[in-house]
Structures are given as structure tokens and as C-alpha cells.
Structure 1
């Protein structure tokens, strides 16, 4: 959902912002749009952290995985992720949302102003801390998977391969995230906090949004259930009464 919102709402507006010098969506949406951008991108990052924790539990404690990770806890984690993203983004964007008129030099402009200290805080919260956590968990996953591979019998080879595949996909997702986000933070810290209308910053926003484009592609490459579910959604079979009986986890030979 986070990646879908980026594609349906954020990227078309960013595209118009690159083409047209003026803002045609009004003062209210000018205030809301940056907030949506921060909420969705932060939630997408939170999803990566949740997935990495899930994969770590699956590899480190596979026998108790089904009891430690159930539907209720998964839903709770997702809700907490979105609530945190909303609160954090509102704190970062507080002045821009409540007082947008201070950021405009003339009618028809929509310039985002964020204090430098907030940008530095955002670097720590949305880049340094989550990446350190995800990379640490990823290293632990690789170490545990390698250790298990040395002590298993042939009956559990398929299970270990599945977990190693999940760890590999997570590693690719993290690398793509770093490649898409680091240029934005470098530009934001270098150019200043009130240059959101510049060509460089707008291009950096596009690179940042490309992360949401790459995530579904990566999952489609590594997970057959993702490809099957996407097919059901695109062909509208998800609305059929029998959709509850669809099997997404068909074993690959």
C-alpha cells in the first residue's frame, strides 16, 4: 500500500512540479502533499524493518515461529508502523503544515521549508538507525542460516533454502533503499533546507520514489506468491466469491 500510494498520488504530482513552475493544487494540498510524502516513505522504511525482524525470528527460532508471529501481531506491527510514521512526519512537517504561507514568496508557489536540525534528525531516524538495525539483523540471518546448513539433514534442506532466499531478497531491498535515499540526503544537507523547488531536489525526490517502484519488482522476482496475488488483483479475480479459496503458496518444483 505504501508503494502503491507513491505511484498513484506522489509521483504524478512530482512530475507536474518538474514540468510546471507554478502550483495548481491550492494551499491545502500544498501543505498536505509533503506530509503524505514523508508518511508514506517512512512507512515503507518501517515495513523493511518489520520484514527483517520477521525473517530473523523465522531463521533464529523456526520451531516457535508460528506461535511468536501470528496474524494479530502482524496487524499490530503494521498499525504501529503507520501510526509512528504519521506522528513522526507531523513533528518534522509541523511548521510547513500549519503555516504554509510563511514559505511562499508569491502566489502559485509551493515551497517546502524544513529546518536544518530537522533534516539532520531525519537522517538519523530514517537512514542511519534503521539501516544499522536492518544490516545487523541481515548479518545475523546469514550467520545463522550458514550455521544451520552445516548441521541439517536432507529433509530440511528445502526449508533452509527458503529462508536463505528470503534473506537474500531482503539484502537486495536494503541495497536498493540505500542507493535511492542517500543521494536525497546528500542533496538536502548540501543545498540547504528551503530549496525544495530546485531542479536537483526534485530529481532527488524522483530517485527516492524509485525505491517504491523497485520494491514490488524485487518481491515479484523472489516470491511466486507475490506474482500470483498480483495476477489475481489485476484480473479482478480477487472480487470473485471463490477468491478466499485461492492458493497463493503453490510449491515450486
Structure 2
């Protein structure tokens, strides 16, 4: 029969080497489990809708949507990673050292890919708004696919090198059985923070400040000349409005991203062990960002709402449904 002390251990059969559980009240533990499970399921489901929409309908194969597809893939993977966080709620890791280091490595990769995709989205909107004459010739779907593919591969390679010692010796830095811990020295940690968060966020902020200034000036110019335009000019104005709306929508995505991720990165730098409790609000907010992106698309993008309707009613199973006019 287990004693109270054994019940507090991750591995009661290894009393001398086992880590101790984080003892939470049963009600708190239940709420955290339900919250993470709900976020995980909702994140995977909503982002799968985005992935299916963009992949299936040919009319959605634009450069901007290719970037949104990359973001949706990384967000969908975040939904699966949340399942591992559910395992860690009581402070114990039961899946072994190899799975631990692979999980942490994948977490690093997905976080950097999400941030990098935000940078690519900012660049895309910057060119579309500030240099519209060059956009169609310089920014193509094929180039967007190439940029996304290269970025994913570079991110995977970079973090494999960064965590090479942990990958070569899984569990090397664990102090007890049931712990999932990877180690980065101070210089590596600072470099990773600069390259994967501070530098990208700085680029995003600068580009979107420029985009916002141009959008405001263009909106004022269109409003002042709307009464004296020809039909041909009205088509150009409509195109401009479309680009401006896309810029504002993706601006909302970027602002939400910064609101959700900045508290997490700030706290991980303040805390001594550079770790945030899985039960903390900042941690939940960090992952919840991946759930919010498809909801933003649903609010601002009519094409996404139409695509979701066709998917949920199984209309996409009909022949030639991929050529449906969505936009």
C-alpha cells in the first residue's frame, strides 16, 4: 500500500531517485486539465480548417495565404504540443528522456517558425502597401512557398545545432527521474532570444509602423477623391481597399501575437530557471495565441467563412470543388 510520501513521488518504485510531484488541489488540477484539453482540441480543429481551405481551393493559393498556411501548420502543431504540457501539469515527465528532448526541440522550432512567419507576413504587407507596382511581379506564390520551406528547414537545423548536447545525451541535465530539462548556456540563451524573438519583433514593429502610416495616408486620399473618379480608377481604388483590409487584418494577427507572447518571454527572462509554470496565465496565453488566429480569420475574412461552410457540409468532396470561387 502506498504511503503519503510515495504518492508524492513521480516514480514510487524509485524512492531514492524520483522527482516529487507538484501537489495541486484536485479542483485546480481538473480546471487546468480541462482548459489545456479544450485549447488543444480547439487549436487543432480550427487550424486544420485553415490548412484544408488554403490547400484545397485553388483561388486561395496567393502569396499571403501561403504564409497564413505556414502559420496555421505551426499553430496546429502547437495544439498537439499542448498535450505534452498536460502530462507535465503535476511536474512529472513519464515519456522518457528521448521524447523529452525531441518535444522541447520541436517546441523551439515551432515558436521560431511562428515568429519568422510573422516577419514574412509583415514583409509581404509592407511590399503590397508601400510598393504596390512591384508586388505582383516580385511576390509570387512560388517564391512564398520557397521562403516558407527554407525558413522551416533553417529553423529545424538551427535548433538541432543549438540543442545538440541535449540531443546527443538525453536526460543529461535531469536531477531526478521524472524531470524533463534541457540546458542552454547563458550565451546560447541570449543569442536564441535575440534571433528568435527580439530581432523579429523589432522588424515586425518597424515594418508595420511604416505600413500603418501609408494605410492612413492612402485611406485619406481615397476618401477625398472618391467623388471624382472614373470606372477604371474605381477598380484601382477597390484593389487598394482590398490590400488595406488585408493589411489591417494581418495587423490584428500580429498585435494579438505580441500581446500573447511578450509576457511569456519577459517572465522566462526574469525567473532564475527560465521556466514558467504550466498553470500560469502567461503560459496559457502563450499557447492560446495559436487558437485565436483562425478566429481572427473567421471575423475578418469572408473567404474563410465560406470555405469552412463548404468543408463542414462536405461540399469539398464534390468533383471540381477545388475550383469553387471563394474570393
Give the secondary structure class of the aligned counterpart of 2:175.
coil
Give the secondary structure class of the aligned counterpart of 1:199.
coil
In structure 2, C-alpha distance between the alignment counterparts of 1:205 and 1:103, rounded to whole Å? 23
How far is the alpha carbon of 1:64 from its aligned partner?
3.3
Structure 1 gaps, min length 5 = none
Query: After the TM superposition, which of the residue ranges 229-238 and 47-56 deviates more from structure 2?
Result: 229-238
In structure 1, C-alpha distance between the alignment counterparts of 2:245 and 2:180, rounded to whole Å? 44
Whether 1:5 aligns to 2:83 is no
Whether 1:44 aligns to 2:114 is yes
Whether 1:14 aligns to 2:85 is yes
How far is the alpha carbon of 1:104 from its aligned partner?
1.4
1:236/1:13 CA distance change after superposition, 3 Å = farther
Q: What's the counterpart of residue 291 of structure 2?
A: 213
Larger Rg: 2
Aligned length: 245
In structure 1, C-alpha distance between the alignment counterparts of 2:312 and 2:272, rounded to whole Å? 42
Query: After the TM superposition, which of the residue ranges 125-134 and 203-212 deviates more from structure 2?
Result: 203-212
In structure 1, C-alpha distance between the alignment counterparts of 2:191 and 2:127, rounded to whole Å? 29
The C-alpha deviation readout for 1:73-108, integer Å capped at 9, x for no partner, is: 011111122112212222332222222221212222
2:188 to 118, 139, 144: 118
How far is the alpha carbon of 1:123 from its aligned partner?
2.2
Give the secondary structure class of the aligned counterpart of 2:193.
helix
Query: After the TM superposition, which of the residue ranges 170-179 and 42-51 deviates more from structure 2?
Result: 170-179
Q: What's the counterpart of residue 143 of structure 1?
A: 213
Asked if the contact 2:257–2:289 (Cα under 8 Å) also holds between the matched residues in 1, the reply is yes
The two structures, once aligned, show a CA RMSD in angstroms of 2.4
TM-score (norm 2): 0.67
The C-alpha deviation readout for 1:214-238, integer Å capped at 9, x for no partner, is: 2222222221222333344444444
Give the secondary structure class of the aligned counterpart of 2:202.
helix
Q: What's the counterpart of residue 96 of structure 1?
A: 166
Structure 2 gaps, min length 5 = 1-72, 227-233
Query: After the TM superposition, which of the residue ranges 202-211 and 239-248 deviates more from structure 2?
Result: 202-211
Q: What's the counterpart of residue 47 of structure 2?
A: none
1:236/1:216 CA distance change after superposition, 3 Å = same
TM-score (norm 1): 0.85
Structure number with higher helix proportion: 1
